[in-house]
Amino acid sequence: YNRREMVKTKVTSLVSIITFVFIFFVELSESQKLAPALYVFGDSNVDVGNNNKLDISAKTNYLPYGIDFPGATPGRPTNGYNIADFFAEALGLSLPPPFNSINISSYTNTEGLNYASSMSGILDDTGTAMFPGITTLRGQIEMFKKTVREQLRKVLKKKNGEEVKRHLSKSIVLVVSGVNDFALNLLRNERMDRRSIDHDAFSQDLRMYNLGARKFVVFDVEALGCLPFVVDMAFPAKPRCVDELNSLNFSSSSSSFLQLIIIIFIPFFLLFFSFVASETNTLAPALYVFGDSTVDVGNNNNFDTISKANFSPYGIDFDDGATGRPTNGYNMADVIALSLGLNIPPAIRSVDFKSYDCDHGFNYASSSSGILPDTGTNMKGVMSLGEQTDMFNKTVHEFLRPRMKNPTDLKNHLSKSIFFLVTGSNDFTINFLMSKNRTNSDRFNFSKHLVQKYATQLQKLYYLGARKFVVFEVEAMGCSPSAVLKAFPNNPNKCVDDLNNLAKNYNTLLNQILQQLVSNFKGAAVIVGKNYDFTYQMAQNPARFGLKEAFKPCCSTTSIGVCDAKKPITCKKRNSYAYFDAFHTTQAANSIMASTCFSSAGACFPYNIRQLTQL
């Protein structure tokens, strides 16, 4: 190809695709909107003028840009319409205006907005040094949050927010971003022909985390090496594509699910799902959560105890701040709830049954609790697993029964709901391991006793109506920063085998007894969350999961390993850390595990949660 042919082919193909999409949608419905709104995020590919008022070169509000666009030159870096414009028209919507051109508090059109900013990227530092004032993807997310709070909640104020949820759940979100992260970050100050660039390591920061969205349109990165300016630089005499740059593009044929994710998009999807949860789109009627701090959302908050996390820097990336989750943002149960289309289950101790009006489930988890009644209960407010299931019994009798029309409705609600349990590690770390002179026989007998007690609580839930269980194994306890730093203070870069062996032996017994429960209880279905494998592999090869640091906590910790409230300092790149404090994983790690368990294979056995909902 010469350059003219190459550009001609690319443009012709693009126009053909867009024309097909346009005609297809218009023929479906010429007069009816196919979606209530289109929300656009990304870079110059879909920018419509958000940078116009900035004193930078990263804007195109001058001729010949817009020469074929009706009216003035709006800021689109093309001759006419961009991809987002065609999508809007095909959907029967008005073109989404640039967010920076409107007053959001007085804007009444709810057909969508455009947040895209030229020269921006997925990463926070892409383009911001060269072009001050551009809006990164994270900044665009903040604009979207502002839209929901200051516009949609005011304009769509029916049914206490349900109208907003319905609007967002049916809207289309278009995302086109990523090319500038390569062009302005990885490739800056690097020779075009350099062979030693660590492409794989950089690509890990740009992986897309698919939480199962149905209404997202996410464009991958174009063929970088075929852009005219790249071709001119590399081969000025005889233009052709630059193969090395094209090899940077994401491969859809990858054998690993995790190679499809972009870790920086996690907050975007979680934020959007937190608004679109709607009863009409749920995959299960409710999610009931039991366990320890891994899934606690604040049940210990009102007690004078060290076993709570309702202070900064916990919750730094959570929309409501420090709620009691011992992580920077969402925990695994949160991600599962949002993926099911449910509201996030509130802490059971925060709810008044007389006034509460949502039956999407509750969270009974309590930090420092365990399976055994004496684990952690020396600390005020800690609820053992038995106390949590007792609380669920109370929920059934005092909350669910009065709300359900008849016993059949209650039975259907409970049998189709998901019961999510993460517990057991505290029974070892702050119970069994605190005693001295332990033998191998003691270890086996304790683990056997522990799984038997666990089975008793699962049976109690079954007799109350539960049928669909997600039971997580104990994690690789020897790979937590707390264990590693204690065992190897001078060189904390490997796991503690003794603790991991203890966890593996317990998990073997747990899997055996869960199989027995499935055999003995009619209609019961149990998924095992392979938490040990996930946390162990994350420690051994964090880059595989898009992470960089596996053994160091992200926050500044106290002597007992929790974040220091007096020094609420965190690492800058929280999405690249496996652990937030010395015990608890970050939102990034939580999202990877939960989402893989929800919709993929391997993280949960024998099938994923989406498949469980279909049984």
- Burial grade of 159 (CB within 10 A; 0-12, 13-18, 19 or more): exposed
3-state secondary structure 147-200: HHHHHHHHHCCHHHHHHHHHHHHHCEEEEECCHHHHHHHHCCCCCCCCCCCCHH
Q: For 533-564, how does the pLDDT look when each residue is reduced to its tens digit (9 = 90+)?
A: 999 999 999 988 888 999 999 999 999 999 99
pLDDT at 216: 64
pLDDT-based confidence at 194, cuts 50/70/90? very low
Judge whether residue 422 has pLDDT over 70.
yes
- Helices and strands (DSSP H and E) totals, the chain: 21, 10
- Choose the weakest-confidence range: 3-7, 205-209, 250-254, 579-583: 205-209
What span, in angstroms and rounded, lies between the C-alpha atoms of 556 and 563? 6
CB-CB contact of 278 with 162 (8 Å): yes
pLDDT value at residue 411: 97
* CB atoms near residue 66 (< 10 Å): 22
Amino acid at site 58: A
CA distance 63 to 71: 12
- How far apart CA 314 and CA 568 sit, in angstroms, is 8
Count of alpha carbons within 13 angstroms of residue 562, beta-carbon side: 18
Say whether pTM exceeds 0.75: no
- Residue 334 DSSP code: H
Q: What is the mean pLDDT of the chain?
A: 84
What value does the mean pLDDT take over residues 123-144? 84
Least confident range of 82-86, 244-248, 361-365, 462-466: 244-248
Position 220 scores a pLDDT of 64
- Whole-number percent of the chain with pLDDT over 70: 81
- CB 166 within 8 Å of CB 105: no
pLDDT of 586 over the 50 cut: yes
Helix axes 137-147, 266-276, angle to 10 degrees: 10
Q: What does DSSP assign to residue 217?
A: E
Which residues are known to be catalytic?
Answer: 293, 581, 584
Query: Could you tell me whether strands 604-605 and 525-529 are parallel, antiparallel, or unpaired per DSSP bridges?
Result: antiparallel
Q: Are strands 525-529 and 468-472 parallel, antiparallel or unpaired?
A: parallel
| Strand stretches in 203-339, DSSP E | 216-219, 287-291
**Percent share of the chain, pLDDT over 90:** 58
CA 588 to CA 507: how far, in whole Å? Answer: 24
- Tokens matching residue 613: 């909902």
Closest CA to 261 of 215, 218, 210, 222: 210
Among 158, 278, 154, which Cα is nearest to 215's?
278
Averaged pLDDT for residues 197-209: 29
SS3 399: helix
- What does residue 375 show for φ and ψ, rounded to 5 degrees? -80, 115
Residue bearing tokens 């104020």 = 157
Write out the two tokens for 28: 């479906």
Q: Is the pLDDT of residue 522 over 50?
A: yes
For 55, other C-beta atoms within 10 Å of its C-beta total: 8
Given this model, what pLDDT does residue 74 score? Answer: 84
Q: How confident is the model at residue 190 (pLDDT cuts 50, 70, 90)?
A: very low
Task: Select, from the ranges 219-233, 279-293, 306-320, the one with the highest average predicted confidence (pLDDT).
Answer: 306-320
More confident: 276 or 230: 230
Domains (range + CATH), the chain: 3-46+82-268 (no CATH), 282-613 (3.40.50.1110)
CA distance 112 to 215: 14
Q: Please write the tens of the pLDDT for every residue from 103-116.
A: 998 999 999 999 99
Q: Which of 65-79, 466-480, 568-582 has the lowest mean pLDDT?
A: 65-79
